[in-house]
Chain A
Amino acid sequence: MKKLKKIAAALVTGMVAFAGAQGALAEDNKNKKEVSNYAASLGEMPVPMEDLFRPVAYTNIRISPDGKHFAAGKTREDGLTDGVIIDRRTMEIKSTLAMDGSVGVSAIQWANKERVLFSFSMKSATSEGAGSSSIAAMNVDGSRKEVIWTGTNDYGGNESAGLAGKIDNKHYRVVVYPSGSGLNFPLQYIYKLNIYTGKNTRIARSPIRLANPIFNKDGEITHWVGRLPDSFDHTVVATKKDDGDWEEKVFHNAKGVFAPVAWTREDDWMWYTDTIEAPTKGLYKVNVKTGEKELVYRHPKVDYDKVFNDDDGNPWGALIQYDYPEVVYIDEDNHYAKTHKRLQGTFPNKVINILNRTSDGNEWVVHVGDDRHPGSYYVYNQFDGALKFLANQAEWIDPTNIPATHPVRFNARDGLEINGYITLPVNKQAKNLPLIILPHGGPHGPRDYWGYNKERVVFANAGYAVMHVNYRGSGGYGREFLFGGYGKWGREMQDDLTDATYWAIQAGIADPDRVCIYGASYGGYAAMMGITKEPDLYQCGIGYVGVYDLNIFMTEGDIPLREAGRTYLKAAVGTDAEERARRSPAANTDRIEAPVFLIQGQRDVRVHWAHYEAMRDALVQQEHALETLVAPRAAHGAREKDSQKEIYCRMIDFFDRHIGDGKPTDRPASDCVPQGALGLEYKYYEGVKRG
């Protein structure tokens, strides 16, 4: 009874589920803060840096089919995530699944009312972060804890796999891309996995490369949608013929694709995605017998990011992210659409994600988040329309102290519409602020979105306006926008960032004398190219695992290992070596005025170490104001918390000295290595002119 009283109090105060555990964590953290001086020299911030790097308390909460339990990922004090089963009535943890050597739970599925499947990312043996993934299972009472997937005997094990649909109460499909597939894209293999014994049997192999299967209602594969062996930019649709053979149709993505997505519940009808009729993705309903097709939804400016289906596979909504994320209701009368609309009414200006439901459809778990908080979980009861709080992913974060993010839109010098997001520090007027231009990596395909983004929050929390720019070549704005960036590295793609900077200055938000540019991967290239091409515009630049020499890019790293990669590189950065050199920061360091900070993972195979060496050595030769930071175990970006904390501390310190309250001649911070960490290899180059 005493225990129940405690839970009851928690229910009232809204800390329903995990009041006890979270309370213990919070207290422990407080004690830690008292002995840690990490980042103290950076000055007081609205939210302590430590709090922004704390992993969320709970992830992947899912309700059981019978509504009696929740499964969740629960973060331990050491930052790893265990899988737990929570008794619905008492909200106490009933059983725990901890995996040695894992980074943590990355996905959870209820296989049936008694058994839960957990996808775990395993720690890489060679570098920071995750290597392959495993699948483990546990019964609700904690019995039959088993790792049911670590790879196949067919290929020697350690093949990562993803759960891809339930076959029956004992079997799931898993999709596998075997390692060691040679220099072409791999074929996909599908296994039938017994979730109690781990026994697996191969049931299908894709006829085309890097393919995804489409199943009909009888569980047979009727189509595969994949790629050509040697191209990133072609889509292949393989359709099963009556004789069992496959008919292949190839589309060039730049010209448009018409590809199946899934079968509808009606015979002969399928959902298709189309970019032929218009540059942005359209969702069509197509009769495969008659060829009749009907446009269900298309946004004129952006691709739909996701289509939401009900339990019968009928789409009821599409996620559109033109500026703020928005769910467009395709079928207003659909029960899901009505419920989502009701929830959206309860949480205006938030992003609502319906995660799963009980098998009778009565109770729903939803996640609610926005740009100022990672989010919270709720249970929605369709009978009384009540929405009950379940868990706060980061109760230590007060959203009012978190910088808000706003969509922005401007026209580039050639008139092309460019979208982006600006994040503004709290308690400061949006006027004459120091600005960090932050281009995303990729560059072709990814884009930035509105929402909680730790990186921009960390910088804005330190007092900087942060601008993400979806420059041409980014994904999400249709095929013309995407392919319009090919061959434009260092040219129009770079000019979009320059124009974004001028937009922020002309809008009065940015102080023209206090602007830096920072990015990772392609963003690192754009940052260094920015200070090369516009030496008067930026007061400093940071390149993180960046591409600095386009000729090195043609031969080093893992992209040119495959024919598809070589084809892509020619299209993206050109075939003329001299022109590539003209567009390479490392070959043009004599033009750079701004101080530079280079950060590199020593085990990066995507952007080879040679880029870092070329850029570093060229700057050293110029006796340029330079700082470097090397993460010895990091690959294409540091993944471990201590490495990240040091990197962001040193970046803020660098910004502070060049566009913040400090001076370029100030000594760098000496308190960026977290307590207990070994520290990365930081070098401050002496004997150069600063300031």
Chain B
Amino acid sequence: MVKSLIAAASLFAASQAFSLDWQRPDCSAFDSFSECRNAEANDYRRQKQQELRDKGLSFWYFERPDFSDNEDVEKALEEKVEGVLYVAFSVARDGSVSEVTVRDQSSEAVSVYAAPILAAMKNWQFVPSEKSWPDQEWRYQFFFEPEECDEDSQGEDCTAESDSTI
């Protein structure tokens, strides 16, 4: 039931114009949650890198955010704070990255992840090109495996399921 609801919600979200009413990706087609999360991240990165490359921006060095050694982030991960962050950045002609800022976010809570992301993105390096590239964008999503629902579960997913049960 949860799966079908998520799927329906995803379809709905996809048909709307850009909105920060963020919805966790649909994992119903995957055997495991981790597979789903990896596929989502990889598909986005692949699509985005190809998109950038097609217009002339090619990565030399991509750095992943380091979420360790940050108490706030670790707490957020533990509490499974979900959402999306859209980060804007500019690429200079020499391939260096600057003006890295959070452009949008699905909730205030998710901004807890911003600091390590911004730090990593500032280290990105692109292959130099003939011109500079202002106002680029990258997306980071955070979502976790839904808890198994039982009678005592108070999680969002479980509530959603019970709400939809007639």
A388 and B125 alpha carbons, distance in the complex (Å):
13
Given A383-B46, A383-B49, A384-B53, is A8 in contact with B59 using a C-beta cutoff of 8 Å? no
A8 and B58 alpha carbons, distance in the complex (Å):
13
Check A381 against B95 for contact (C-beta < 8 Å).
Answer: no
A388 cross-chain contacts in B, Cβ below 8 A? 58, 60, 127
User: B137-165 vs A: 1/0 string, CB under 8 Å?
Assistant: 00000000000000000000000000000
Q: Does B50 contact A (CB under 8 A)?
A: yes
Check B52 against A9 for contact (C-beta < 8 Å).
Answer: no
Q: Does A68 contact B (CB under 8 A)?
A: yes
Q: Which of B36-65 contact A (CB under 8 A)?
A: 42, 45-46, 49-50, 52-53, 58-64
A8 cross-chain contacts in B, Cβ below 8 A? 93-96, 128
A271 and B69 alpha carbons, distance in the complex (Å):
44
Q: Does B28 contact A (CB under 8 A)?
A: no
Q: How far is the CB of A430 from chain B (nearest CB, A)?
A: 42
Q: How far is the CB of A135 from chain B (nearest CB, A)?
A: 29
Q: Does B70 contact A (CB under 8 A)?
A: no
**Within the complex, which residue of A4, A68, A88, A381 is in contact with B94, where a contact is CB–CB below 8 Å?**
A4
Task: Write the chain A residue with the least CB distance to B127.
Answer: A11
Given A5-B94, A11-B95, is A384 in contact with B50 using a C-beta cutoff of 8 Å? yes
Check B49 against A381 for contact (C-beta < 8 Å).
Answer: yes
A68 and B125 alpha carbons, distance in the complex (Å):
12
Q: Number of A-B pairs whose CB atoms are under 8 Å?
A: 56
B58 cross-chain contacts in A, Cβ below 8 A? 384, 386, 388
Q: Which of B7-58 contact A (CB under 8 A)?
A: 42, 45-46, 49-50, 52-53, 58
Check B49 against A384 for contact (C-beta < 8 Å).
Answer: yes
Q: How far is the CB of A584 from chain B (nearest CB, A)?
A: 62
Task: Write the chain A residue with the least CB distance to B46.
Answer: A383
Q: Does B123 contact A (CB under 8 A)?
A: yes
**Within the complex, which residue of B42, B94, B95, B127 is in contact with A383, where a contact is CB–CB below 8 Å?**
B42
Q: Which of A493-529 contact B (CB under 8 A)?
A: none
Task: Write the chain B residue with the least CB distance to A90.
Answer: B125
Q: Does A413 contact B (CB under 8 A)?
A: no
Q: How far is the CB of A481 from chain B (nearest CB, A)?
A: 47
Interface size on A, residues (CB 8 A): 22
A513 and B52 alpha carbons, distance in the complex (Å):
63
Q: Does A67 contact B (CB under 8 A)?
A: yes
Q: How far is the CB of B74 from chain A (nearest CB, A)?
A: 19
A4 and B92 alpha carbons, distance in the complex (Å):
11
Q: How far is the CB of B131 from chain A (nearest CB, A)?
A: 13
A89 and B125 alpha carbons, distance in the complex (Å):
6
User: A267-308 vs B: 1/0 string, CB under 8 Å?
Assistant: 000000000000000000000000000000000000000000
Check B128 against A12 for contact (C-beta < 8 Å).
Answer: yes
A5 cross-chain contacts in B, Cβ below 8 A? 94
Q: How far is the CB of B62 from chain A (nearest CB, A)?
A: 7
Q: How far is the CB of A112 from chain B (nearest CB, A)?
A: 15
Interface size on B, residues (CB 8 A): 22
Check B50 against A383 for contact (C-beta < 8 Å).
Answer: yes
Check B61 against A89 for contact (C-beta < 8 Å).
Answer: yes
B61 cross-chain contacts in A, Cβ below 8 A? 67, 88-89
A89 cross-chain contacts in B, Cβ below 8 A? 60-61, 63, 123, 125
User: A48-74 vs B: 1/0 string, CB under 8 Å?
Assistant: 000000000000000000111000000
Interface centre among B52, B60, B64, B125 (most CB of A within 10 A): B60
Check B128 against A9 for contact (C-beta < 8 Å).
Answer: yes
User: A348-389 vs B: 1/0 string, CB under 8 Å?
Assistant: 000000000000001000000000000000000101111010
Q: How far is the CB of B111 from chain A (nearest CB, A)?
A: 25
B62 cross-chain contacts in A, Cβ below 8 A? 67, 362, 381
Task: Write the chain A residue with the least CB distance to B128.
Answer: A8
A388 and B61 alpha carbons, distance in the complex (Å):
11
A67 cross-chain contacts in B, Cβ below 8 A? 61-63
Check A68 against B49 for contact (C-beta < 8 Å).
Answer: no
Q: How far is the CB of A95 from chain B (nearest CB, A)?
A: 18
Q: Which of B90-109 contact A (CB under 8 A)?
A: 93-96
**Within the complex, which residue of B59, B64, B96, B125 is in contact with A381, where a contact is CB–CB below 8 Å?**
B59
A68 and B65 alpha carbons, distance in the complex (Å):
12
Q: How far is the CB of A639 from chain B (nearest CB, A)?
A: 38
Task: Write the chain A residue with the least CB distance to B57.
Answer: A384
A31 and B47 alpha carbons, distance in the complex (Å):
50
Interface centre among A7, A16, A89, A362 (most CB of B within 10 A): A89
Check A383 against B125 for contact (C-beta < 8 Å).
Answer: no
Check B49 against A4 for contact (C-beta < 8 Å).
Answer: no
A381 cross-chain contacts in B, Cβ below 8 A? 49, 59, 62
**Within the complex, which residue of B59, B123, B125 is in contact with A384, where a contact is CB–CB below 8 Å?**
B59
Q: Can you list 14 A-B pairs, Cβ within 8 angstroms, ordered by A?
A: A4-B96, A8-B96, A8-B128, A11-B127, A11-B128, A67-B62, A68-B63, A383-B45, A384-B52, A384-B58, A384-B59, A385-B50, A386-B58, A388-B127
Inter-chain pairs besides A89-B123, A383-B59, 18 sampled, C-beta below 8 Å: A5-B94, A8-B93, A8-B94, A11-B128, A67-B61, A89-B63, A89-B125, A90-B125, A381-B62, A383-B42, A383-B45, A383-B50, A384-B49, A384-B52, A384-B58, A385-B50, A386-B53, A386-B58
Q: Which 9 A-B pairs have the closest CB atoms?
A: A384-B49, A8-B94, A8-B128, A383-B49, A384-B53, A89-B61, A383-B46, A89-B125, A384-B50
